[in-house]
Amino acid sequence: MSNDKSRTSVDFRHDPDHPVTLLAGFIILFIFIFFLSFFVGRYPIKPITLIKVLLSKIFYIEPTWPSTVENVIFKIRMPRILSSAIIGGALSVSGLAYQGMFKNPMVSPDVLGTSAGAGFGASLGILLGLSYFSTSALSFICGLVAVILVTFISGKLMNQKTLGLILGGIMISSIFTSGTSFVKLVADTDDALPAITYWLMGSLASVKMSDIKFLIIPIIIGLLPIILLRWKLNLLTLDEDEAMSLGINTILLRKVVIFGSTLMTAACVGVSGHIGWVGLVIPHFTRMIVGCDYRHSVPISILMGSSFLMLVDTLSRTVTTGEIPLGILTSFIGAPFFLYLMIREGKK
């Protein structure tokens, strides 16, 4: 592929010499942050105590700790840590897949209107006084509806499918965002409006173990095809004719990417609200470290996204006396880094 062609796609630079070593390193980093998240908080837990409590669920160990410790571990921190790991990995790999499919490093998982649709669904659920689970389900459904509408619109542009997806995503996002604004306008200012505003900023404060079950099924369904077909995703960065000459059904492959990424993004937004920058910045980190071969970048991106959001969630509940919404922290971290990337690439 010539230099000119390579600049139209995502910046493919190198293949890592030791992908297995890198993968092992990120697995160790993931495990370290995972357990660190249990130790840190307003109610600190000693490592030996955590190990004993976890092992007590498998083996009989005489309790030497107060019942408060178990409540903190299993009812408060365990759901948050698991959900942040799952959501971070899902958003990251969704952004990575979309950036390769659209050949655009500025693309994020909400490019097709998933986040806007899910945001409208959640806002509507809060306005109607639905339960947390019902609100998450309505958010998930509206996120899927948004992408279905975008796909239908793009199908009307026979020779400009990619352009149709982008333009359709902009239009549908605008419609659902307007709907969210209308819901906020009519919402009760003392009750519903603060809840809607806080949810839209992204938070895991209300997550329970039952929400993990709601989250995990669509993410597994969406993630498996991307993992199994990750070597084929490299071909989406080629020109259409080149990819098809290699025997790849690019139309079907794009549909698989859209299906998987949409399921994951809608499920994540339905549980946590809108958490920006994870699906935009982490794929860039991944390519800088491991290269752009999707065989390696997909698993590394999952681990990096999971580790990043677990760390951010830990900061959100420990930095101040009140909890900082995740969307604020990810913006504080992601925006300066992306500005750095723009300046660095501009100099080149």
Of 300, 331, 329, residue with least CA distance to 29: 300
Residue 345 is predicted with a pLDDT of 64
Q: Which amino acid is at 93?
A: V
Q: What is the pLDDT of residues 142-180, one digit of tens each?
A: 999 999 999 888 877 766 777 888 889 999 999 999 999
Q: What is the pLDDT of residues 95-110, one digit of tens each?
A: 999 998 888 888 888 8
16, part of any domain: no
Please, are residues 246 and 231 in contact by the beta-carbon 8 Å criterion? no
Going by pLDDT thresholds of 50, 70 and 90, the confidence category of residue 117 is very high
Going by pLDDT thresholds of 50, 70 and 90, the confidence category of residue 15 is very low
Residue 13 is predicted with a pLDDT of 43
Question: Torsion angle of alpha carbons 164, 110, 290, 21, nearest 10°?
Answer: -130
Going by pLDDT thresholds of 50, 70 and 90, the confidence category of residue 348 is low
Please, are residues 134 and 142 in contact by the beta-carbon 8 Å criterion? no
Among the residue ranges 32-41, 162-171, 330-339, the one predicted with the least confidence is: 330-339
Is the pLDDT assigned to residue 301 strictly greater than 50?
A: yes
Please, are residues 313 and 255 in contact by the beta-carbon 8 Å criterion? no
Going by pLDDT thresholds of 50, 70 and 90, the confidence category of residue 90 is very high
Residues 6+ apart with CB under 8 A from 315: 324, 329
Is the pLDDT assigned to residue 63 strictly greater than 60?
A: yes
CA angle 110, 116, 117 (to 5 degrees): 110
- Phi, psi at 149, each rounded to 5°: -65, -40
Would you tell me the crossing angle of helices 78-102 and 278-290 to the nearest 10 degrees? 70
Residue with tokens 């352009």: 163
What pTM does this model have?
A: 0.88
120, part of any domain: yes
Stronger pLDDT, 3 or 260, i.e. the higher one: 260
Is the pLDDT assigned to residue 287 strictly greater than 80?
A: yes
Q: Which amino acid is at 317?
A: R
Across the chain, mean pLDDT equals: 86
CA angle 125, 306, 281 (to 5 degrees): 85
18, part of any domain: no
Is the pLDDT assigned to residue 10 strictly greater than 60?
A: no
162, part of any domain: yes
The secondary structure of 155-204 as a DSSP string is TT-TT-HHHHHHHHHHHHHHHHHHHHHHHHHHS-TTTHHHHHHHHHT---
1, part of any domain: no
Q: What is the pLDDT of residues 213-231, one digit of tens each?
A: 889 999 999 999 999 988 8
* CATH code of the domain in which 184 resides: 1.10.3470.10
> Whole domain around residue 145: which residue ranges?
28-347
Going by pLDDT thresholds of 50, 70 and 90, the confidence category of residue 82 is very high
9, part of any domain: no
Is the pLDDT assigned to residue 5 strictly greater than 70?
A: no
Residue 6 is predicted with a pLDDT of 40
> Residue 206 and residue 197: Cα distance in Å, rounded?
15
Number of domains in the chain: 1
Q: What percent of the chain has pLDDT over 90?
A: 44
21, part of any domain: no
Of 288, 279, 329, residue with least CA distance to 114: 279
Distances from the Cα of 173 to the Cα of 38, 119, 299, 313, angstroms: 37, 10, 29, 27
Residue 14 is predicted with a pLDDT of 45
Q: How many CB atoms lie within 10 A of CB 222?
A: 24
In this structure, what token pair is assigned to residue 164? Answer: 């149709």
Residue 158 is predicted with a pLDDT of 66
